[in-house]
Amino acid sequence: MAKEGDVNHGDYVHDIENEASVDGNEEIGRYWSGLSERNTSHSKPLLVKRINTTSQIAIVGANLCPIESLDYEIFDNEIFKQEWRSRKKVDIIQYVILKWGFALLIGLGTGLVGFFNSFAVENIAGFKLLTTTSLMSQKRYAEAFLVYASLNTCLAAAAAALCAFIAPAAAGSGIPEVKAYLNGVDAHTILAPRTLFVKIFGSILGVSAGFVVGKEGPMVHTGACIASLLGQGGSRKYHLTCSWLRYFKNDRDRRDMITCGAAAGVAAAFRAPVGGVLFALEEAASWWRSALLWRTFFTTAVVGIVLRVAIEFCSTGKCGLFGAGGLILYDVNSANVTYGILDILAVVILGSFAGVLGSMYNYLVDKVVRTYSLINEKGAAFKISLVITVAFFTSCCYYFLPWVAKCIPCPSNVTVSCPSTAESGEYQSFQCPPGYYNDLASLFLNTNDDAIRNLFSPRITKEFHISSLFIYFFTIYCLGIITYGIAIPSGLFIPVILAGAGYGRLLGRIFEPFTKLDRGLFALLGAASFLGGTMRMTVSICVILLELTNDLLLLPLVMLVLLISKTVADNFNRGVYDQILKIKGLPYLEAHAEPYMKNLVTRDVVSGPLISFSGIEKVGTIWHALNSTGHNGFPVIDEPPFSDAPELCGLVLRSHLLVLLKEKTFSNERRLADQDIFERISALDFGKAGSGKGIKVEDIDIQEEEMDMYVDLHPITNASPFTVVETMSLAKAAIIFRQHGLRHMCVVPKSQGRPPVVGILTRHDFMPEHVLGLYPNIDPHKWR
C-alpha cells in the first residue's frame, strides 16, 4: 500500500467492471476527512472496496463535506458550440440588454430594501427610546428600565427565532459567505430566498433591539441574495421561466450579478455608490473585468437615485420618525482643516494604537465566535437563550452606565434644543435637572447612527468628558466583541465605527494641548483607523468614509491612518472576515499561494484512484461510478480504434452525464453518436438548477438490458480543460486555479508512455490544511 503523497500516479481506473476481479477487501486509497469536497475531490485518496458481486465501488467511512464548488469555467463542448453557432444577432443583443436590465432591477430592489431597513429601524428604535425618555422625564426610573430592557429582549428574541427556525445561514454579517461564493464556494442556502427574508427582518429587529451591531454589513448579503434570486433564470419547477432567461442558468453570469448585488448592498447601506464599487473590487470579488465594472457602477448609481428619491419623500414628514436627511449620513465638514507636523504625529500615533487594538479585536472575536458555535450547535433553544442574555446585558450597560456620568450644563451657544426633546439628539437629559444633559446618555440612549453623528459632530468640542469617552469606548469595544457570533443578522461595520469614533474622540481630547485638529475630525480618523485595523481594507473604506462625511479635505489624513493601522495590524493576525471564513470552514482560495508551496509540485498532492471514462463508454460503467462516488468531474480518454494511442479527450461533468443518461441516447454498438443528438439535447438542458433541485441519480431509471449499451460522451465533453504538467510548482498552479475560477484542473504526465492524465486538482488540494496534512514535516512559518 502506497503511503500518503506517494500514490502510484501511473495507475488509473477507466473501467470499473474490468477491475472487479480485485480482492474485495483490498484498500486502494485513503480518504482525507479534514477538508473534503463531496463533488470534486478526484485527487483525494478514497477509502474504497471492490465489490465483486455488483462491480461497484463503495466508499467506507468517508466524512463527505457538503460544500461544493461552482462551475465558473466556460464549458467548451459540442452541445454548447452548436448552441452558440445557432444564435442570431438578435439573441446576442437580447442577452446584453437583459444583463443591463437585471443590473437595473438589482439596484432598484437593493435600494428599496436599504430604505425600508432605515425606515423600520428609525421608527421601531425611535418608539422605544421615546417611551423610555418619557418615563425618565417623569422620574419613573424603574419602569423606564423595565420597558427598555423588555422591548430589547423581545425584539432580540424575535430576530433569534427567525434565524434559528427559518434560516440559520442569515446569522452574522454574510460578507464572508458572499466573499466565499464569489471565490467559487457554493455553500448551501447562503443565497436562498428564505435567507433573504430573515436577513431583512432579522437585521431590522436586531438593530432595533439595541445590540452593538449594524444593518450595513447584512445589506451586502441582502444585495447578493436579491441578485441571486433574479439570476435564477426562472424556475421550470414552478413554470416561471421562458426561453430568453436560459442564458442566465450558469454560475458565471450569476457570479457577475451577485458581484453587482454586493456592491449595491454597500451603496444602500452607506449611501456610497462609488464606495460600493470599490468594496466589491477590493474585498468581495475574486475575479474582475472591465465590463463588470461598468455594470456594477450602473447598479450602485441606481441605488443612489432610489435613496435620493425616497429621502426626498420622507423629508415631507410622511415616514414617521425617519425624517429629513440626505445622501450624506454624517456631515462633519469643517470650515478650517489645516494641519502641521504635530497634527500628523498625533495621527500616526492614533493609527498605530488602532492597529494594535484592531488586531486584538479580531483575536477576541475569533475566540468568542468559536465559543458561541459550541453553544449554538446545541439547538434553537440555546441560540435564542444566548441572544436574550446578550440583549439583557447590553440593555443593562446602556441604561445603568450613564448614571455614573455627571450632569453638564447646557451650552449657551447651541443651535439645537438642550436638553434634546426628540427620541435622539446630542443632549439627552436622562436623570439630569432642566438645563443640564448627560453626555453618556447622549451616546448610549441613541440609535447607532445618531451616536456616530454625535461623535463626528464638529459642533461638540468639550461636551464629552474624557472619562465618559473612555467608558463609552471600552463598553462598545467589549460589547461589539461579545455580540458578534450570536444567532442574529449582525454587521461589523457599525460596531467598529462606533468604537473607533469613541477612541478617536478620546485621543483628540488627550492630544488637545498639542494639536489643532477638530475633535470631530479625530473621531472620523479614529473610525477609519479601526476599520483599517480590523477589516484590513484601504481604498474602499477611504472612499466610503469620504462619501459618508462629505469632507474631501481629510483625504490625505484618512489615507495615512488607514495605511498605518492596516500595516501594524497585519503583523499580528489576518482581517476579521478572513478569520471568520476559516472558522466557518469555507475553503477560500487566497490571491497568493503559501510560500512553502513553491517547494512542492502538483504531483505531490495528487493521489488516486482516478476514475475516468472512455470516449464511448458503457452505460453500466457510468451508472456505477455516479452511484458509488460523489465526484463532479471525470476525465474522458480516447483509446484505439478512435485514437492511435490513449489520449486525454477532455473532462465531463457529473450533471451533464445525468442529462445524457436521462435522455437515453444509447446504442448497441460502440460508435460515435449521430447528428440527431443535437436535436434531442440542447444547451438549455444543461442549465444550472436554481433554487429547485437538479437531476439526481435517483431520478434516472436505467433498465438491466441498458447497462450493456454504449453512450458517446464526446458531445458533452469539455474538449479544452485547463491542464498543468505534473512538475509545475504547486504555488503557480494555485494562482492559475484561482485567477481562472476553476473547479477542476487536470494534471498530465511529463513523460511519454504513461496514462494521459495523472489526476485532477480541486480547490481542496490547495488548502494549507490538506497540504500540511500530507507533509506534516513542513514548517509553514519557516517560509514566510
Concatenating the DSSP letter of every residue in 527-539 gives: HHHHHHHHH---H
At residue 439 the predicted structure's pLDDT band, cuts being 50, 70 and 90, is confident
Q: Provide the pLDDT for residue 334.
A: 55
- Between CA 68 and CA 65 the distance in angstroms is 8
- Give the N- to C-terminal CA distance of the chain in Å, as an integer: 35
Instruction: State the amino acid at position 781 in one-letter form.
Output: H
Tens digits of residue pLDDT in 103-117:
999 999 999 999 999
Percent of the chain with pLDDT over 70: 84
Q: Average pLDDT for residues 366-395, to the nearest whole number? A: 94
Query: What is the fold of 89-318?
Result: Clc chloride channel (1.10.3080)
Q: Provide the pLDDT for residue 783.
A: 62
pLDDT for residue 206 is more than 90: yes
Q: Provide the pLDDT for residue 585.
A: 85
- Between CA 632 and CA 551 the distance in angstroms is 52
Q: How many residues does the chain have?
A: 784
Burial degree of 577 (CB within 10 A; 0-12, 13-18, 19+): buried
Q: State the SS3 of 37-78.
A: CCCCCCCCCCCEEEECCCCEEEECCCCCCCCEECCCCCCCCH
pLDDT for residue 55 is more than 70: no
Percent of the chain with pLDDT over 90: 42
Q: Provide the pLDDT for residue 421.
A: 61
**CATH code for the structural domain at 345-573:** 1.10.3080.10
Look at 386 and 665; give whichever has higher pLDDT: 386
At residue 225 the predicted structure's pLDDT band, cuts being 50, 70 and 90, is very high
- Between CA 665 and CA 659 the distance in angstroms is 10
Query: Which residues are 85's β-sheet partners?
Result: none
Look at 722 and 644; give whichever has higher pLDDT: 722
- CA angle centred on 100, ends 94 and 106, rounded to 5°: 130
C-alpha cell, 401: 452606565
pLDDT for residue 442 is more than 50: yes
pLDDT for residue 34 is more than 50: no
Hey, which bits of 191-277 come out as E strands?
none
- Name the residue among 68, 252, 44, 183 with its Cα closest to residue 769: 44
Q: Provide the pLDDT for residue 415.
A: 62
At residue 13 the predicted structure's pLDDT band, cuts being 50, 70 and 90, is very low
C-alpha cell, 508: 483628540
Q: What is the pTM of this model?
A: 0.86
C-alpha cell, 9: 500516479
Q: Average pLDDT for residues 646-652, to the nearest whole number? A: 90
DSSP 8-state assignment for residue 670: S
Least confident of 76-80, 129-133, 194-198, 261-265: 76-80
Q: Provide the pLDDT for residue 7.
A: 29
- Between CA 56 and CA 626 the distance in angstroms is 10
Q: Provide the pLDDT for residue 448.
A: 85
Please say whether the dihedral angle defined by the alpha carbons of residues 645, 648, 650 and 651, taken in this order, is positive or negative: positive
Q: Provide the pLDDT for residue 343.
A: 87
Helical (H) or strand (E) element with 165: helix 141-165
Same fold across 25-80+593-774 and 89-318: no
Q: Provide the pLDDT for residue 42.
A: 39
Q: Provide the pLDDT for residue 328.
A: 54
Look at 49 and 293; give whichever has higher pLDDT: 293
DSSP 8-state assignment for residue 316: T
Q: Provide the pLDDT for residue 2.
A: 31
pLDDT for residue 605 is more than 50: yes
Domain 25-80+593-774, CATH number (from 3.20.20.80, 3.10.580.10, 3.40.50.300, 3.30.70.270): 3.10.580.10
In this structure, what is the dihedral angle of CA atoms 214, 404, 353, 566, given to the nearest 10 degrees?
0
At residue 102 the predicted structure's pLDDT band, cuts being 50, 70 and 90, is very high
Query: Grid coordinates 500518503 are at which residue?
Result: 4
Q: Give how far Cα 459 sits from Cα of 91, 426, 513, 521, 545, Å.
A: 59, 10, 19, 11, 19
- Can you spell out the DSSP letters for 96-144? HHHHHHHHHHHHHHHHHHHHHHHHHHHHHHHHHHHHHHHHHHTT-HHHH
Q: What is the residue extent of each domain of the chain?
A: 25-80+593-774, 89-318, 345-573
Query: Which residues are 614's β-sheet partners?
Result: 637
pLDDT for residue 43 is more than 90: no
pLDDT for residue 540 is more than 90: yes
Tens digits of residue pLDDT in 482-503:
999 999 999 899 999 999 999 9
- CA angle centred on 302, ends 334 and 189, rounded to 5°: 110
Instruction: Give the CA radius of gyration of the chain.
Output: 30
Least confident of 300-314, 431-445, 519-533: 431-445
